[in-house]
Chains A and B, each alone.
Chain A
Amino acid sequence: MLREKTVWDELRGGGYLRGSAPWRSAAYLAGGALLGAVVLVIGSVLVALAGILAVVLIGIPLLAALTLSGIPLAALERRRVRLVDPAPAPTPHRTPDAPGIPAWFRLRLKEQATWRELAYAVLLALVLWPLDLLVVACAVGLPVLLVAAPAQLALAGGDIRPAKLWLVDGYPAATGTALLGVVLLLVLLHPLGAYAAARAAFTRLLLAPREAELADRLAEVTRSRARLVDAFEAERRRIERDLHDGAQQRLVALTMTLGLARMDAAPDGPLADKLATAHDEAGRVLTELRELIRGIHPQVLADYGLTAAMEDAADRSAVPVDTDGTGPPLPRLPEPVESAAYFAVREALANVGKHSGATRAHITTAHTAGVLRIDVRDDGRGGADPGRGTGLTGLADRLAVLDGRLAVTSPPGGPTVLSVEIPCQAEAR
């Protein structure tokens, strides 16, 4: 989408009068005048009412609610400001951590933005709207009245005094006045735009999020993403445990029963054959289930850590893998780090096996200066496109939560190197 220019940009860049900017500015200010007047009336009534009712205590909550009245007004103003400044104006408020109205109230009363919004509401009701009205009246209302002089003359018959300024007593004078009105309008639209731009900038200053608030929200988003990843990880473990403690144990018990039954059946009879078939089939299901469980979350990662789990993944790779260059075994690292790194290595080895045409892969690992670094290199044909694999994208997201990075270099002809870097400290376990 092409970013629209602000009124201020158009004023400075030229072509201001040819676009819609003057009319948007006028609409913005007229709306502001109207809104401010309404806010003044409603606000005065409510404050008076609350003041009276405060005597009988009912007014207290009403007063409390009034302190928050800037919030809906500010939400409306943040939308309106885009008439003259199309950049998004996000809310400075945070989402409450807990559901429910009390939590919402507590958060809003604590936020500085709430008080800025209240200040804006008061300013709008007392100062801004009369200013808006004055500017619109002078810059648009006055020239329009002059332009309308011939029409007024036709309606009134005798002589008129447009905008109470001078006497117009004939069509030549009326035409002159109208022309003057047009010129005046074209001239005055410029200060109108400038005022609207300044007014919008002031609104933004009070109602848009401050830097610290933006940083807070970013931190909040990061935390919530980390929580999602944690939840996902916990679910993985739960599924793994359920399968292991449930289906797998039952299947092993079943194969034992079948094994015993085979011993009891008459050899070479039809029953023995059927039992043998069932026994073999159960064994195959068990093997599949075992691989499935391992794919979900390998127990060895929890028990022995990343080095052992990677060697295990290397053992199972279709392409022979060297882990000789790994140096000293890695220390135990935080669980999410071990998990993300392990799945990255596995994905890398799977890609090597599927796409690279490599005959050999090499894994190097190091944990130095608080950064875990893992490289998986193969001697294949290269030309791998990291953008294509959804597996890699998912891994990159997962690493990003840990402030980690995933890089793939794969020039045509190879070698392909997948690198993972995660900042983390060793853990005693």
Chain B
Amino acid sequence: MPSRSPLRVVLAEDSVLLREGLVGVLTRFGHETVAAVGDADALRDAVSAYEPDIVVTDVRMPPGFQDEGLRAAVELRAARPTLPVLVLSQYVQRSYAAELLDTGDGTGVGYLLKDRVGQVEQFVAALTRVAEGGTVVDPEVVRQLLRRRRDPLAHLTPREREVLGLVAEGKSNAAIARELVVSEAAVGKHIGNILGKLDLPPADGTHRRVLAVLAYLRA
């Protein structure tokens, strides 16, 4: 993947080992880690101090080792709706993802399983997509939701669910077309059907794709 303009990243991760590793990965891909911190308060301070292009944060952090990282991310997004945030989670959890996507208008957020950072190229690609205002939801969350077919998704055909899953992963129509080996026009048609079935009429200023993903998460 061609490296675009380097991103200025604020990183919050309490494990030193992992923090150093992430800094190494970001550096390797030409991005700059302007601050690497170990708890949620330091994260808030670092964002104020550096105004980064993107925040990457762990869910579980000191002092309580509960969902402090996620809380901080939600707060940051409330104060700065356009600040891209990528949250790394110990494991897949729809509640975390849904809460995060509810912030701002659901664009420029990502929710990834921590394991994904091992797939360094995919991880950095997801990071870039989020920084550009995309929405990335971990494929594992998507897979679980697909298994559990409930309204309003019940009306979708299997193919449409598949397409919606790929949309949730943050893929563009072109990427989805490549993955499913169909024409981009066919993907567009599927997405049109999905938006119709989910009752998301065309309107200005709303990101219907994100709303579809949200409907999907909340289903």
Real binding pair: yes
**Chain A contacts to B: CB under 8 angstroms:** 241, 244-245, 248-250, 252-260, 263, 279, 282-283, 286-287, 290, 293-294, 298-300, 302-304, 308, 311-312, 314-316, 320-322, 324
B18 to A321, Cβ gap below 8 A? no
A293 to B90, Cβ gap below 8 A? yes
Q: Which residues of B contact A286 (CB under 8 A)?
A: 115, 118
Q: Which residues of A contact B148 (CB under 8 A)?
A: 314-315, 320-321
A315 to B145, Cβ gap below 8 A? yes
Nearest chain A CB to B171's CB is how many angstroms away? 21
Which of A254, A256, A293, A302 is in CB contact (< 8 Å) with B24? A256
A299 to B60, Cβ gap below 8 A? yes
Nearest chain B CB to A239's CB is how many angstroms away? 14
Q: Which residues of A contact B4 (CB under 8 A)?
A: none
Nearest chain A CB to B206's CB is how many angstroms away? 27
Nearest chain A CB to B18's CB is how many angstroms away? 5
Q: Which residues of A contact B96 (CB under 8 A)?
A: 300, 303
- Tell me the bound Cα distance from A281 to B33 in angstroms: 29
Knowing A311-B94, A315-B148, the reply to whether A302 touches B121 (Cβ < 8 A) is no
Q: Which residues of B contact A244 (CB under 8 A)?
A: 60, 90
Q: Which residues of A contact B147 (CB under 8 A)?
A: 315, 320
Q: Which residues of B contact A311 (CB under 8 A)?
A: 94-95
Knowing A259-B119, A260-B120, A263-B120, the reply to whether A294 touches B91 (Cβ < 8 A) is yes
Quick check: is B56 within 8 A (CB to CB) of the other chain?
Answer: no
B90 to A290, Cβ gap below 8 A? yes
Quick check: is B149 within 8 A (CB to CB) of the other chain?
Answer: yes
- Tell me the bound Cα distance from A71 to B81 in angstroms: 75
- Tell me the bound Cα distance from A321 to B24 in angstroms: 42
- Tell me the bound Cα distance from A294 to B93 in angstroms: 11
Quick check: is B183 within 8 A (CB to CB) of the other chain?
Answer: no
Question: What DSSP secondary structure best describes chain B's contact surface?
Answer: helix
Q: Which residues of B contact A294 (CB under 8 A)?
A: 91
**Chain B contacts to A: CB under 8 angstroms:** 15, 17-18, 20-22, 24-25, 28, 59-60, 65-67, 70, 90-91, 93-96, 113-115, 117-121, 144-145, 147-150
Q: Which residues of B contact A252 (CB under 8 A)?
A: 18, 21, 114-115, 117-118
- Tell me the bound Cα distance from A188 to B70 in angstroms: 88
Q: Which residue, of B20, B60, B65, B93, has the highest number of chain A Cβ atoms within 10 A?
A: B93
- Tell me the bound Cα distance from A293 to B148 in angstroms: 23
B93 to A312, Cβ gap below 8 A? yes
A260 to B28, Cβ gap below 8 A? yes
Closest residue on chain B to residue A286 by CB atoms: B115
- Tell me the bound Cα distance from A258 to B120 in angstroms: 9
- Tell me the bound Cα distance from A258 to B95 in angstroms: 31
A255 to B60, Cβ gap below 8 A? no
A299 to B115, Cβ gap below 8 A? no
A253 to B18, Cβ gap below 8 A? yes
Nearest chain A CB to B19's CB is how many angstroms away? 9
Q: Which residues of A contact B15 (CB under 8 A)?
A: 245, 249, 253
Closest residue on chain A to residue B93 by CB atoms: A300
Q: Which residues of B contact A298 (CB under 8 A)?
A: 91
Closest residue on chain A to residue B141 by CB atoms: A315
Nearest chain B CB to A127's CB is how many angstroms away? 67
Nearest chain B CB to A75's CB is how many angstroms away? 51
Q: Which residues of B contact A287 (CB under 8 A)?
A: 115
Q: Which residues of A contact B90 (CB under 8 A)?
A: 244, 248, 290, 293, 299
Closest residue on chain A to residue B20 by CB atoms: A253
Q: Which residues of B contact A312 (CB under 8 A)?
A: 93-95
Q: Which residues of A contact B144 (CB under 8 A)?
A: 315-316
- Identify 14 new A-B residue pairs, CB closer than 8 A, beyond the known A252-B115, A256-B120, A286-B118: A248-B114, A253-B20, A255-B117, A256-B117, A259-B120, A259-B121, A283-B118, A283-B119, A290-B113, A293-B91, A294-B91, A299-B59, A303-B67, A312-B95
- Tell me the bound Cα distance from A255 to B59 in angstroms: 20
Q: Which residue, of A245, A286, A294, A315, has the highest number of chain B Cβ atoms within 10 A?
A: A315
Which of A249, A283, A316, A324 is in CB contact (< 8 Å) with B18? A249
Can you identify 20 A-B contacts, CB atoms within 8 angstroms? A248-B90, A249-B18, A252-B18, A252-B114, A252-B117, A253-B17, A253-B20, A256-B22, A256-B24, A260-B24, A287-B115, A299-B59, A299-B66, A304-B93, A311-B94, A311-B95, A312-B93, A312-B94, A315-B94, A324-B150
